[in-house]
Amino acid sequence: MDKEHKGVDSLLLSDLVEVWETNSLTLRTIEHLTMFSIAIVLASIIGIFLGLFLYSRPKIAHPTLNLLNLVETIPDIPLLVLLLPIFGLGSGPTIVASVLYSLLPITRNTYTGLKEVDLKYVDIARAMGLSEKDILFKVRIPLSLPMIVGGLRIALVFTMGVVTLGGLIAAGGLGAALIAGIQLYKINTILVAGLWTGLLAVIFDGLAGIVEKRLQRRYGIW
Amino acid sequence: MASKRLFDRIDSIQLRGVTKKYDDRFAINDVSIDIEGGELVIFIGPSGSGKTTTLRMINRLIEPDSGTILINDQNIMELEPVALRRNIGYVIQSIGLFPHMTIAENIGLVAKLEGWNEKKIKDRVEYLLDFVSLPSDMFMDRYPHQLSGGQQQRVGLARALVMDPPLLLMDEPFGALDPILRKQLQEEFYQIREKLGKTIIFVTHDIEEAFKLGDRIAIMDDAKLVQIGTAEELIFHPANEMVASIVDTSKKFKHLDTLKIKDLISPLECMYVHDGSLDIESAISSMIGKNIEIAVVSNGSFPLGIVKLIDLLRMDDKESKIIDHVVKIPSFSRNKLLSSSLKIMQKDGHSMAFVMTDGKLSGFLFPNDAFSQVIG
């Protein structure tokens, strides 16, 4: 390629394509998003059920949330290292760590959302002849959806970060490309992989934000 | 899951020595009362007197510490609470329409839980919206926040009626509405009550509302039932000083002769005024936006009369100007004597009038409102 005859734009573009291809960033992105999705789905299922469970057992709610809070305070790299003996290298411990971090915001928001539904709705629902189960499914859960999605949104950002760190422990994903770039000191690789990861995080957060706003407008406080 | 129809009609409701304590304080202290089927009984009293607690015991939202409550001679503690509540309509001041459900979903919720099919629910919702004077095609798919306070309260009533309960419990249903709207809804409620043919237990703190709507009035004070009777009985034979002070109008009525309109004016807010050249469509959206049910139609600066939102919603020709649908009402100078103005209004059957100051509209006169201010 005769670079001297090309403009700055195409120079950047060709560099971008080169970095993208040598680091197989398409594959890395797929790996990244696979881990990300698995972690988010698992964390949502466990977190929402745990939130529902804590709501039905208020006595253990505080100790459980405190425990999750404790997990939250462990820095991410030590947590990954702690998980290595149990789950080995790769995507296993990365997903587990992501789930552990995401549990607190999802569980806490589900629990708080259910608990803090405006009592006037619960009261009128009861007076209309809804059973406690109907009240939970027809009133409490729908009215706490904006809060639950708010927790999910925080979890999305955490998970994006932890999945990226998974590159350190051979989990693949965009973190692997980033670390390769750092180790070989290839500025272009670091920039492309870093910006791309950041962009993905911003996009997911933005999408979740839109869903949250919609739900707030429809289900929440007017 | 369909629940049992517990009673098709109410023959009697009896409270026998009902008592409820919170810590050491009595919420209700040994209350006994007999209510006949088809009656509208109003509970009135200062806040904390136990009127709402009494109401909420009848559908078991609160359970008594001692005493029994019988509906048609059945002890309600032996009935399943969910089934009992589906046989009793409940309307409260804060309305509590579920914000995540449309109007149709709100009204049809219990019917759906009872396993009615879609068609039957839809028919019932349409019938009920029509019953409370809201055009169903316009309101079914809206969300509660898109409705004015008065419209929400109508939906609240429709929702309470969905299972056609023979008994209605109403806890200050008009309490949160502004005075103009409150008068109008009381008026409408008074009219539809006949059609409803239900036993109604109603809580209020507004003695005028009690006199206007109630067959009998139960006066509560300090967790006890002090007296129950018709308005006449309470006025002419009050059981004690407290009842006399609640219902006693004699002292203040003496001053009525000297009162002038300006003493009882409800001031005009400019949001009520709409220009006559406005078409119905825009008038409706303006009124819903401002949460008002009555608009003053003006011709530049001069008021011509009023239009009601409810009437506008029913007009077929939404293009026509509101000036063509104006209802004329009397107007009086603010210095005129109240008594003579009221006589004129009574003669022609008007429920409101304009009050003019120096040839300009400055407020409204509502006879009912005026009375409640005089005796309140």
Return mean pLDDT, chain B.
85
* SS3 category, A50: helix
Contacts of B256 (CB under 8 A, 6+ apart): B338, B339, B374
ipTM: 0.74
Among B85, B99, B143, the residue with its CB nearest the CB of A127 is B85
Q: Which CATH architecture has domain A3-219?
A: Orthogonal Bundle (1.10)
Contacts of B306 (CB under 8 A, 6+ apart): B294, B295, B296, B297, B326, B327, B329, B352
| Number of other residues whose CB lies within 10 A of the CB of residue A157 | 16
CATH number of B257-375, picked from 3.55.40.20, 3.10.580.10, 3.50.50.60, 3.20.20.70: 3.10.580.10
Q: What's the confidence (pLDDT) of residue A139?
A: 92
Return mean pLDDT, chain A.
84
Q: Does A126 touch chain B (CB under 8 A)?
A: yes
Q: Does A130 touch chain B (CB under 8 A)?
A: yes
Higher-pLDDT residue of A11 and B350 is B350
Q: Please report, for chain A, the start and end positions of each structural domain, with discontinuous segments joined by +.
A: 3-219
Q: What is the distance between the alpha carbons of residues B340 and B36, in angstroms, rounded to a whole number?
A: 40
Instruction: With beta carbons under 8 A apart, name residues in chain A contacting B143.
Output: 218
Mean pLDDT of B47-67: 92
Across the interface, whether the CB atoms of B99 and A123 are under 8 A apart is answered no
- Lowest mean per-residue pLDDT among A143-152, B103-112, B306-315: B306-315
- B209 near B181, Cβ under 8 Å? no
Q: Is the pLDDT of residue B252 over 80?
A: no
For residue A132, give the chain B residue with the closest CA.
B82
Q: Smallest CA–CA separation between A147 and chain B, in Å?
A: 14
Mean pLDDT of B46-67: 91
Across the interface, whether the CB atoms of A134 and B113 are under 8 A apart is answered yes
Across the interface, whether the CB atoms of A124 and B90 are under 8 A apart is answered yes
Tokens encoding A31:
């790996």
Mean pLDDT of B354-363: 84
Across the interface, whether the CB atoms of B110 and A139 are under 8 A apart is answered no
Instruction: Write the pLDDT tens digit of every residue in B116-135.
Output: 999 999 999 999 998 888 88
CATH fold label, B12-250: Rossmann fold (3.40.50)
Mean pLDDT of B12-35: 92
Higher-pLDDT residue of A11 and B202 is B202
| Number of other residues whose CB lies within 10 A of the CB of residue B32 | 12
Q: Please report, for chain B, the start and end positions of each structural domain, with discontinuous segments joined by +.
A: 12-250, 257-375
Among B84, B86, B92, the residue with its CB nearest the CB of A124 is B92
- B274 near B370, Cβ under 8 Å? no
Mean pLDDT of A134-152: 91
Across the interface, whether the CB atoms of B96 and A124 are under 8 A apart is answered yes
Q: Is the pLDDT of residue B372 over 70?
A: no
Instruction: With beta carbons under 8 A apart, name residues in chain A contacting B90.
Output: 124, 127-128
- Lowest mean per-residue pLDDT among A130-134, A184-188, B27-31, B219-223: A184-188
Of B109, B219, B214, the closest CA to residue B155 belongs to: B109
Q: Smallest CA–CA separation between A217 and chain B, in Å?
A: 9
Q: What's the confidence (pLDDT) of residue B362?
A: 84
Instruction: Write the pLDDT tens digit of every residue in B162-213.
Output: 999 999 999 998 887 777 778 878 888 887 887 788 899 999 988 888 888 8
Q: Which run of H or of E encompasses B169?
A: strand B167-171
Among B85, B99, B145, the residue with its CB nearest the CB of A128 is B85
